[in-house]
Amino acid sequence: MSVPDTVEAILRRAAEGLGESLRQIARTDVEVRDVTVEEGGLEDGADVYLAKLELERPEPVETYLAISRPVAIAVAGLLVMMQEKVVREKVEQGEVTDDDLESLAECASHLSTVFDEALAEVIGEQHELGFVEGGVDAAAPAATFVRLRVELAIGDLASGHLFWLVPAEGFGEGQRRADAETPQAAGGVELSAEEMAAIREVAQGAAFAGHVAALVPVERVRGTWEQLAKEADVALEVVRTVFELRGLAAGATLEAVVVDGDVHPGGGISVVEIVRRWAAPNVATIMAASRPTRWHVAAALAAGAATYLVKPASGDDLRRALERASAGADPIGFGI
């Protein structure tokens, strides 16, 4: 079987952006030593971090990102700004912790945007690729793949390979999954009408005039947040990844971050935690989601969200949520 021209074009285009993307994540020199497009998947027992990246539309198509363990550990440590000495020790020990897995999930989400851009350039803007799940003990997927194999080095800390596996038949056309149009933030008991109303009933608080970022990795939702910001008369910039968010924060006075839980893996809880770890104490984090559950509300607040915004929301809803978070008011109007 030969590699289809379209699939090879996608993989080659993705390879062009991977080095720079990894440099943004690791904030150190990343050397891309070799790039190969070939038939093949992962060998059984391959010592890698494996993440599933799924094409969200027009139909579900599973692809996989695999990163050699030493490279994965180095990237995970550098992402949370560990000292190089500590990262080097972690690479030598070879252990992947739960914190590393959280960092690698964010890394995979960031790299998925590189793949998404390659898909968009070659086969159209309607294609969106998103992170689904990842781990180090996952079995090699049993399917026929074409793979991008990139040999790379993370400074002098680690070297190895990054693989992107895509179906040999490429990316077909079709209908979106039925449940994609009605996302639910997380499993659990849905809120009652009274509880929903209580969340919406927010205090007016002080006037809000700060700069806001909305963390939205899915392009099709971008316009919704831009329209809400216009209605709310607030300065809002939509970013796709935490790394873009950090870049924005470095050049502007950021006062609030909105996390759209409907379009993040796991309802965006881990994203809230990541934002809270690096953001200044005065930067408010707001979780926004449709069809919220009691578990999701509680988890979002426990992760550090200042308040919870129920979607669909109006511009007034967004502004009041920002005012409430900025004023440090009680985040919700009912007990959980």
Q: Are 21 and 114 in contact (CB under 8 A)?
A: yes
Q: pTM of the full predicted structure?
A: 0.58
Domains and CATH numbers, the chain: 5-167 (3.40.1550.10), 182-327 (3.40.50.2300)
| pLDDT number for residue 251 | 65
Integer Cα distance of 135 and 137 in angstroms: 6
| pLDDT number for residue 86 | 93
Q: Cα torsion at 255, 260, 266, 270 (round to 10°)?
A: -10
25: nearest Cα among 154, 123, 147? 154
- Label residue 320 exposed, middle or buried (CB < 10 Å: 0-12, 13-18, 19+): buried
| pLDDT number for residue 67 | 94
Read off the pLDDT of residues 175-218 as tens digits, 9 standing for 90 and up.
233 233 334 444 455 556 655 555 555 433 334 556 889 988 77
Backbone angles phi, psi at 52, to 5 degrees: -90, 125
Q: Residue 244: CB partners within 8 Å, gap ≥ 6?
A: none
| pLDDT number for residue 174 | 33
DSSP 100: H
12: nearest Cα among 129, 166, 127? 166
| pLDDT number for residue 196 | 57
Q: At what angle do helices 98-123 and 69-79 cross, to 10 degrees?
A: 100
Residue 179 neighbours by CB distance under 10 Å: 8
Which amino acid belongs to residue 316? D
Integer Cα distance of 71 and 68 in angstroms: 5
- The Cα-based distances of 79 to 127, 129, 245, 333 in angstroms read 27, 22, 14, 36
Report the residue count for the chain.
Answer: 336
DSSP 64: E
Max CA distance (Å), the chain: 65
Tens place of pLDDT per residue across the chain (336 aa): 577 788 888 898 888 888 888 887 787 889 998 999 988 888 777 899 999 888 765 567 888 999 999 999 999 888 777 889 999 999 999 989 888 888 888 788 778 878 877 887 787 655 667 777 888 877 777 778 899 999 999 999 999 999 999 888 776 543 233 233 334 444 455 556 655 555 555 433 334 556 889 988 777 788 889 998 899 888 888 988 777 787 777 766 788 899 998 887 667 887 888 788 777 778 889 999 887 777 788 888 888 898 899 888 888 888 888 887 776 655 553 333
Six-digit token pair at 27?
């904030």
